[in-house]
Amino acid sequence: MSRRAIDAIQQPWSYVPTMALFQSLVFCFVSILPGLFLKSLGAGNELVGLASIFALPIAFRFLAGIAVDRGGNIRTWSLVTQLLSTATAVAAALSLLAGAPLGVTLGLFALVGLIAAFQDVATDGFFLFALWPSEKAFYCNLKVQLYRIGILIGQGLYVMLAGRLILDHHTPSEAWGRVFLLHAIVLAALLLWNALSFPRHVAGESDRQRETTTFTRWLRMIIAFVRTPGMGWTLAFIALFRVAESVLTAMKAPFLLDPVAKGGLGLSLQDVGFLNGVLVFGISLLGGIAGGLWVQRKGLKGTLVAAVLLLNLPNAVFFWLAVHPPLVAGTVLGMHLSWEVIACLVAEGVANSVALAPSIYLLIVCAQGPHRASLFAFASGVMNLGWTLPGTISGFLQKAMGYPALFFTLTLAGLPVLLLIRSIPMVALESRDQAGT
């Protein structure tokens, strides 16, 4: 490929989409698919909920930022960790197809989670360094939408394929092994494009490399960051914003899959993949674009309260479904689905996609300066910690409370975070971001 051709593709419009897709597919592989995989093997909801622990390293990825900041080109960090994620996905696929013990596959899930922590720090840091301040709002929105597309592919098309293979008389292990192999092939293709399109030199990279970050220096940097006026309240909001969503996400698929006698809706794995992915794909994409434009126009001050309320809406929707389980009213592409369920899943997709944009933008405006990669990793790690830990106990909560009581409790639990919004210095954060400091 000529130098001119390489220069032409090393632009944000070229690498931001594939960067986001790779990140989201890996995140899906460690945080969403393990629970569905275990559920299809007949595991109880307690173990399904505990599968959230595979994403725990991502929650602590700010610690990986120390290694990333200590040296090495941030582009190289990103591409090498993407290569390791791809290789581990291949190993997970082969372990299932070869009939290896389940513990081997679960260990590989854990390994991918660890690699993903370093990958996310490096890739997000590259994203922050490569863009000018005036470009961030637009490409932040684009990254959010492509990230969501990756999640929908992972929890939609991958799951539908696994469900179809099981219906075609493959064992669950064989079905998921083929799906994981397809996942690895997709990652390899994205990695190849990223290697070509990632710019070799980005603004601020030389400043980052001149400062070697020791743990003590990193700790001082984080303490100074937390002591920024209003940042403690901001981090508290970031940590609690998605707690209720975490429990709902962990128990949503079990609720849809469990038989009616156990309080579920009795859907098939293929049905769940269709509902979570294909059905809500278009509407979620439009909702996410609308969310990005909404944030761009209104800013944080005009969007955070509504984002909290929107993110809480699915809890009430699932409570209604649990109390009034609908009857199957028709067939969609050969699948027996209720129109009530379809409408509720679409509403959930719209609410989540619109609500996600303000929260991601809040993370970005919090992270400024030469160590913005580590600061962004710390802030997003705080959010991921609030996302991951509640999910690990979700199965035990469901077992103790049942689906209706659980969803009702989540509806109430998602509201107190509204009290923190008044203490977030939103105007100051956005002004500092626009100044590029």
Among the ranges given (162-171, 209-218, 241-250, 334-343), the one the predictor scored with the smallest mean pLDDT: 209-218
The C-alpha torsion from 292 through 294 and 298 to 299, rounded to 10°, is -20
Residue 291 has a pLDDT of 84
Tokens of residue 422, six digits = 């008044």
- CA distances (Å), origin 114, targets 25, 57, 153, 257, 328: 15, 5, 22, 29, 42
Average pLDDT value over all residues in the chain: 84
- pLDDT-derived band at 210, boundaries 50, 70, 90: very low
SS3 337: strand
Write the DSSP string, 208-224: HHHS---HHHHHHHHHH
Mean of pLDDT values over 362-391: 81
Measured distance CA(229)–CA(252) in Å, rounded: 38
How many residues belong to the chain?
437
Residue 257 has a pLDDT of 92
Residue 81 has a pLDDT of 94
CA distance between the termini of the chain? 37
Residues 190/21, Cβ–Cβ less than 8 Å: yes
The C-alpha torsion from 264 through 266 and 268 to 274, rounded to 10°, is -60
Q: Residue 211 region, left (φ>0) first, then alpha (ψ -120 to 50), else beta?
A: beta
- In 98-171, where does DSSP find H-type helix? 102-130, 133-152, 158-167
Among the ranges given (173-187, 279-293, 302-316, 387-401), the one the predictor scored with the smallest mean pLDDT: 279-293
Residue 63 has a pLDDT of 80
Residue 435, pLDDT > 70, answer: no
Residue 48 has a pLDDT of 94
- What's the structural domain count of the chain? 1
Mean of pLDDT values over 228-249: 89
The percent of residues above 90 in pLDDT, for the chain, comes to 38
Residue 180 has a pLDDT of 97
- Note the pLDDT tens digit of each residue in 80-111: 999 999 999 999 999 999 999 999 999 999 99
Among the ranges given (132-136, 221-225, 238-242), the one the predictor scored with the smallest mean pLDDT: 132-136
- Note the pLDDT tens digit of each residue in 38-73: 999 989 999 999 999 998 888 887 787 777 776 667
Residue 55's CB is within 10 A of a number of other CB atoms, namely: 26
Residue 329, pLDDT > 60, answer: no
Residues 144/360, Cβ–Cβ less than 8 Å: yes
Please report how many Cα atoms fall inside a 13 Å half-sphere around the Cα of residue 263, on the Cβ side.
Answer: 21
Tokens of residue 114, six digits = 């660890």
Mean of pLDDT values over 121-136: 72
Residue 196, pLDDT > 70, answer: yes
Tokens of residue 239, six digits = 């940590």
Measured distance CA(173)–CA(165) in Å, rounded: 10
SS3 229: coil
Q: Which residues, at least 6 apart from 420, have a Cβ–Cβ distance to it below 8 Å?
A: 233, 236, 237, 240
327 class by beta-carbon count within 10 Å (0-12 exposed, 13-18 middle, 19+ buried): exposed
Domain residue limits at 50: 3-435
Among the ranges given (119-133, 265-279, 342-356, 405-419), the one the predictor scored with the smallest mean pLDDT: 119-133
Please report how many Cα atoms fall inside a 13 Å half-sphere around the Cα of residue 63, on the Cβ side.
Answer: 8
Tokens of residue 46, six digits = 């307690």
Residue 113, pLDDT > 90, answer: yes
Please state the separation of Cα 377 from the chain's center in Å: 14
Choice between 216 and 192, residue whose per-residue pLDDT is larger? 192
Residue 214 has a pLDDT of 67
Mean of pLDDT values over 250-263: 92
Residues 176/37, Cβ–Cβ less than 8 Å: yes
Residues 62/189, Cβ–Cβ less than 8 Å: no
Among the ranges given (28-37, 347-356, 401-410), the one the predictor scored with the smallest mean pLDDT: 347-356
Among the ranges given (74-88, 114-128, 236-250, 258-272), the one the predictor scored with the smallest mean pLDDT: 114-128
Residue 427 has a pLDDT of 54
- 369 DSSP 8-state letter: S
Measured distance CA(95)–CA(103) in Å, rounded: 10
- The CATH number for 263's domain is 1.20.1250.20
- Note the pLDDT tens digit of each residue in 350-374: 888 888 888 888 888 877 766 676 7
In terms of average pLDDT, the best of 44-53, 58-67, 117-126, 326-335 is 44-53
Residue 1 has a pLDDT of 52
